[in-house]
Structure 1
Amino acid sequence: MTTRGGTLPLETDKILAKCPKYELRVLVVGKSGTGKSSLINHVFGIKQQVVSHQTRGICKIDEEITSPDNPHLILHDSMGFEPGQATNLQNAIDFLKARSAENVAIQDSSPCCLIPHAGSRVLETGDEQFIRFALDKKVPLIIVFTQFDKLQSLIEQELTEEEMDSDECEAIVAKRSEMKFAEICDPPLQGFQPLQYARTSGLTEGSGVPVDHGALKALVDTTRDMVKKSIWFVTAVAQRTSARAKIEGSIDIGMQGYWHGLASTTGLMNSSLKTCLKTIHFEIIASWNFNDPDELLTNGAFEQKMYSLIQFIVPEDNKIRSWFDNVDPFQTLMGIGTAITAAAAPVLVAIGLSTMFMQWIGSVYNKTPEALRCLMAYICDLTLIMDHLFLETLDLLPPRRLTQAHIDSAVESYQTSSAAKVHTEVRMYANRATFAQIVKSNNAEEKVKDIIDLYCSK
């Protein structure tokens, strides 16, 4: 993303400028066959052949693995720690020490991922030594068990014929698999506290087992709780599994900047509303990190779509007719009603942009109820459209180039499902108290979070 004309200085740029070339480094440790490549592919959207470009089972830990499809990430691949072989373990420890020596405080380092071998022993001696070193140096470390589906298959084979024919078959397998996992994997980890771990399913190529997206999201969420906010933000940007992580990263960083407290902020003062909206637009888009080399999300056409959507939230109810022509049949589109139909959605575009609205956003930002509604609606609308777009492209691995069709589909999906309800929530909030009462605290910020949480994908 290179085009940033017409915005205020961006919080995302400030954060990413403090990071190395691709912002986030992750050291992945595991033997060949444990599912490293598939895990990286599904979490970060990096093509498997990019990760596995070297001779099978051979990798160089200092070599940077990058992909033009996800420029916010650098991966380092370490072979697992074979019994009786100390070289790989020492290389991994030396790598972490060297990163610290390069003025990257090891306490602030990016996370490491250790993938145990799917064999008879959960952790090898080398794994245990690496864990102790990482915990001692406060390196964020997560253990990932990548083949939970294999355990489920074994449990399923042990079912009785009666259990196999039962309607509760899946529930029985799920419960026993969890119990068996705890029995096998929990004891070896008990001596390493605090230690975080997660598990995944369906990452083995050719297994036919569906990818457990819920487990991958849990992995990302666990990582979030392990690292500091600045590192978490670039982690959220780089990962391509959890929409929730994208949303939280966007809000956590964005709310620290120019719209903290929304209408009460002074960061937007002396700028036009259009500049404020463009700044919000770039901040939110940056955190989602779609594969968008054509900059379809930051071009004027998409901004016009956003303006067409939020323009209805600005005028007071009694001024709507002076802003728009022939709006009576379509009041639900403006958040005055509570529903919107698929048949009515195209009307949003057909009505066109109001001249009054375009003149209004060209004016200098002022603390008014109209400005509050506009900023709240823009943050909610754009974030939730990104959420819909994320769902549109979630299963496209590796994430393919974003198309206009993807964007149009996401916008229409949001329009027909939530847009009017979101705008109604914003109007009701802004009308229930005086403007002075609202801006005395961060109530508007919390309301934005609540609305997004209510209407985002779960």
Structure 2
Amino acid sequence: MANSIHTSTAPCALHISGISIDFSNSEKNVESAEARINQLSKPIEHDAGKTMRQTFSPPIQLSLGDTFSLHLRYRRRFRKIGHEDINFDLADILRASDARQEYHKSHDNIKIVVVLSGNTITEAWIHHAEQPDSASDTTLELQPTTSEIIQICPRFRILVIGKTGVGKSSLINRAFGVHEAIASTHKPGEADIDHEFISPQNDRFVLHDSKGFEPGEEGNVNIVRGFIERRRNMDTLKDKLHAVWLCFEIPRAGGRLLETGTEDFLTLKRGGKLGNSEWINSYLSTKLELTGGQVPVVVVFTKYDRFINRVDRTLDESSLVGLSSNAVKELVKNKANAELKEICIGPLEKFAGSDVPYATVSTKEEHAETLAHLIQITEERVCKHVATEASVMTSIAQRVDPKLKFKASIEVGKRRYWKALASCAAFQKRTMWECLRVLHTDIVAVWNFHDPHDYLYSDDFRNLMVNMVEKLDVGPTTNPNNTVAVGLSTVGAIAGIVAVLAGPAAPIVVPIVAGVVIAKWVYDVYQLSCAVLQRFIAYIVDLTLVLQILYLVSDSQELSRRVIKLAVASYHASPTSEEVHRRIQGYDRNFTLLERTDRDTLDKIIELMELYCIDAKEVSAVRAQIPTVDSLPDESW
């Protein structure tokens, strides 16, 4: 991961000899922790009470450009297990290290101490570490955080296993927003597992396809095993396998889930006829050990919509008398869940164990939340078992869950720029236009639209967003108690506005200044003030919410200027826009403590983004209210 700045003026001089963690004052009960330096993982052992401690001998060496984070697995009271990455800023460690050679960090009342040893830290190195792109020339462009992530892991790499007809093609096409059949390059029943399928409509994922395990056949078992072993030995994260989807069609009542030959496959495993039986056991129970982590395996039960329809048809009509439509839906859902446990989950757990992750999915728009659930499970497992960069790329590649786009944006923002808007050395002596440009690039990159003309990166679109922020009144809030409803009502309001503006003949008019006219303040050099922070928060949140509307109306189609203008105009006219700016107006902090200002600013951004994020089920409801948007003929800005 280290870049190419290792020169005589930037010596490799930082060594970590130990880490201690104290979570006695935190709500989080940390069950396990590991230090991650680039792709190297080092476990942190439990100490006395609610503390953990690990000594590294010899010390771990950090070089300029390396990444350093702490991955925690924890439980909260009355909650399920959670996972979190705490990222460390190399420049912060360099500045804070003193004669005691310790670096202290606090996160959610968890106290972390990094013990340093044998370091010859120089002012030159600190200077280099604080520079964007590790360069001292401030005339160079700021480096987007997403560029670094993409350099490490340019694509989410997935293996999909399933017999012909199980629905692999439609699953991949819907999950990643592509339109051509994934398996179109193969004859029915054939698949070249080593072939890297990369779609021109979405180049942020790479697919490997494998047919299912047919009865009595060992050949494909060995092919899959050999493929995963080869990927296991790859040197870089981008070449490793990040996840596996093992697909089964939900059988009819009385049918057998494992009749496709997987039962024979498991029998061969138990009999040791496949060699290393522990390898197969691990593979099916999501515990396959790979260099630098594990490969998550998620079982996918396909064609859920057909299954629901079958369950609906078998209901006793007499049991429905007097029930509302919602009550009938709940009855169908409960019966379907009971049947799924009998014909799918029970047989799966019998052979693979009770902890195997699974998801039931449908590729129909009315069941979009099922695909979102699959992606969420996958992203969580990739984050836990593979690497943070791979989990971010999972979120970037997928096109079914806007919530994961928000989550990835926050993850990217917290790594560098969002977490230090008040004290970020990279912004010093730069115009606000330059600073906003790098924030803009990171946010747009996460949403991963099909934008072959780079309209979203154009100065025209950036101008629209800057001038939208110009509408922000940075004076005192006129009525802080005047709030609008957040949630489905707001989403419905946006849907209505989009429907009105998306007429097939009328051009889209954006009621804010565009083109060459741009707010004068963006040419000012970045200086900390309440007004500047308000504008930067507004830009981040406004841009994210505009892209959320664009996600709704574009539906993975190639972007046009007309559709982008529709998203901007709809957000500008919505009550959400006014409410977001009103909330930002109320944001005012004492700037005497930069650390607190940075933390409060980041918290405010996250609060606003999470408040207005919509989930997959709401996406379906909104799209049902929006007419088809004509992107052609295109329009000028």
Q: TM-score, normalised by structure 2?
A: 0.61
Question: Mean alpha-carbon deviation: is it higher for 302-311 or for 134-143?
Answer: 134-143
> In structure 2, how many angstroms separate the alpha carbons of the residues matched to 1:419 and 1:174?
37
Match status 1:372 vs 2:507:
no
- Matching residue within 381, 387, 391 for 1:232: 391
Match status 1:310 vs 2:469:
yes
1:261-292 residue CA offsets vs partner (Å, 9 max, x unmatched): 32233332222111000100111000111000
Residue 46 of structure 1 and its aligned partner are, at CA, apart by 2.6
Match status 1:381 vs 2:542:
yes
Percentage of matched positions with identical amino acids? 28
Query: What corresponds to 2:263 in structure 1?
Result: 125
- Matching residue within 573, 580, 586 for 1:422: 580
Does the CA contact (< 8 Å) of 2:245 and 2:299 recur in 1? Answer: yes
> In structure 2, how many angstroms separate the alpha carbons of the residues matched to 1:299 and 1:354?
15
Q: TM-score, normalised by structure 1?
A: 0.84
Match status 1:298 vs 2:488:
no
Query: What corresponds to 2:489 in structure 1?
Result: none
Query: What corresponds to 2:375 in structure 1?
Result: 220
Residue 211 of structure 1 and its aligned partner are, at CA, apart by 4.5
1:202-242 residue CA offsets vs partner (Å, 9 max, x unmatched): x3xxxxx6551011111111112111221111111111111
Over 3 Å counting, the alpha-carbon distance change for 1:439 and 1:310 in structure 2 is farther
Does the CA contact (< 8 Å) of 1:106 and 1:139 recur in 2? Answer: no
Counterpart residue identity of residue 282, structure 2: R
- Matching residue within 17, 28, 44 for 2:151: 17
The secondary structure found in structure 1 opposite 2:427 is coil
Equivalent residues, number: 423
> In structure 1, how many angstroms separate the alpha carbons of the residues matched to 2:296 and 2:546?
32
Query: What corresponds to 2:625 in structure 1?
Result: none
Instruction: Name which structure has the greater RCO, CA cutoff 8 Å, separation 6+.
Output: 1
Residue 388 of structure 1 and its aligned partner are, at CA, apart by 0.8
Residue 337 of structure 1 and its aligned partner are, at CA, apart by 8.1
- Matching residue within 78, 84, 88 for 2:210: 78
Over 3 Å counting, the alpha-carbon distance change for 1:157 and 1:259 in structure 2 is closer
Residue 351 of structure 1 and its aligned partner are, at CA, apart by 9.8
More strand by share: 2
1:401-447 residue CA offsets vs partner (Å, 9 max, x unmatched): 101121111112211221111111111022xx323357525121111
Does the CA contact (< 8 Å) of 1:111 and 1:223 recur in 2? Answer: yes
> In structure 2, how many angstroms separate the alpha carbons of the residues matched to 1:126 and 1:251?
45
Residue 192 of structure 1 and its aligned partner are, at CA, apart by 2.6
Residue 75 of structure 1 and its aligned partner are, at CA, apart by 0.3
- Matching residue within 134, 149, 162 for 1:30: 162
Query: What corresponds to 2:175 in structure 1?
Result: 43
Query: What corresponds to 2:220 in structure 1?
Result: 88
1:118-147 residue CA offsets vs partner (Å, 9 max, x unmatched): 443324236655563352322111111012
Does the CA contact (< 8 Å) of 2:300 and 2:361 recur in 1? Answer: yes
Does the CA contact (< 8 Å) of 1:163 and 1:169 recur in 2? Answer: no
Query: What corresponds to 1:450 in structure 2?
Result: 607
> In structure 1, how many angstroms separate the alpha carbons of the residues matched to 2:440 and 2:237?
33
The secondary structure found in structure 1 opposite 2:418 is coil
Over 3 Å counting, the alpha-carbon distance change for 1:266 and 1:32 in structure 2 is same
- Matching residue within 307, 310, 326 for 1:154: 310
Does the CA contact (< 8 Å) of 1:131 and 1:192 recur in 2? Answer: no
> In structure 2, how many angstroms separate the alpha carbons of the residues matched to 1:48 and 1:347?
34
RMSD between aligned alpha carbons? 3.1
Question: Mean alpha-carbon deviation: is it higher for 402-411 or for 111-120?
Answer: 111-120
Over 3 Å counting, the alpha-carbon distance change for 1:390 and 1:6 in structure 2 is farther
Does the CA contact (< 8 Å) of 1:314 and 1:370 recur in 2? Answer: no
Query: What corresponds to 1:206 in structure 2?
Result: none
Over 3 Å counting, the alpha-carbon distance change for 1:230 and 1:84 in structure 2 is same
Over 3 Å counting, the alpha-carbon distance change for 1:415 and 1:380 in structure 2 is same
1:4-28 residue CA offsets vs partner (Å, 9 max, x unmatched): x984111111111112xx5221100
Residue 194 of structure 1 and its aligned partner are, at CA, apart by 3.4
1:286-339 residue CA offsets vs partner (Å, 9 max, x unmatched): 011100011111111111110110013375469xxxxxxxxxxxx99xx99868
The gaps in structure 1 that reach 5 residues or longer are 204-208, 319-330
> In structure 2, how many angstroms separate the alpha carbons of the residues matched to 1:171 and 1:77?
36
Over 3 Å counting, the alpha-carbon distance change for 1:108 and 1:251 in structure 2 is farther
Map 1:94-133 onto structure 2 (within 5 A): 94-104=226-236, 109-119=241-251, 120-123=255-258, 124-125=262-263, 128=266, 130=280, 132-133=282-283
- Matching residue within 373, 380, 402 for 2:559: 402
Does the CA contact (< 8 Å) of 1:308 and 1:349 recur in 2? Answer: yes
1:351-376 residue CA offsets vs partner (Å, 9 max, x unmatched): 99987x42x22122111112111111
Question: Mean alpha-carbon deviation: is it higher for 169-178 or for 147-156?
Answer: 147-156
More helix by share: 1
Counterpart residue identity of residue 181, structure 2: Q
Over 3 Å counting, the alpha-carbon distance change for 1:55 and 1:164 in structure 2 is farther
> In structure 2, how many angstroms separate the alpha carbons of the residues matched to 1:66 and 1:298?
23
Say which one has the larger Rg.
2
Counterpart residue identity of residue 526, structure 2: Y
Does the CA contact (< 8 Å) of 2:152 and 2:389 recur in 1? Answer: no
The gaps in structure 2 that reach 5 residues or longer are 1-138, 270-279, 485-492, 501-507, 616-637
Residue 148 of structure 1 and its aligned partner are, at CA, apart by 2.0
Does the CA contact (< 8 Å) of 1:30 and 1:36 recur in 2? Answer: yes
> In structure 1, how many angstroms separate the alpha carbons of the residues matched to 2:481 and 2:140?
32
Match status 1:185 vs 2:317:
no
Does the CA contact (< 8 Å) of 1:99 and 1:106 recur in 2? Answer: no
Over 3 Å counting, the alpha-carbon distance change for 1:161 and 1:194 in structure 2 is closer
> In structure 2, how many angstroms separate the alpha carbons of the residues matched to 1:131 and 1:99?
18
The secondary structure found in structure 2 opposite 1:74 is strand
Does the CA contact (< 8 Å) of 2:256 and 2:343 recur in 1? Answer: no
Query: What corresponds to 1:275 in structure 2?
Result: 434
Does the CA contact (< 8 Å) of 2:452 and 2:558 recur in 1? Answer: yes
Over 3 Å counting, the alpha-carbon distance change for 1:406 and 1:346 in structure 2 is closer
Does the CA contact (< 8 Å) of 2:474 and 2:534 recur in 1? Answer: no
The secondary structure found in structure 1 opposite 2:242 is coil
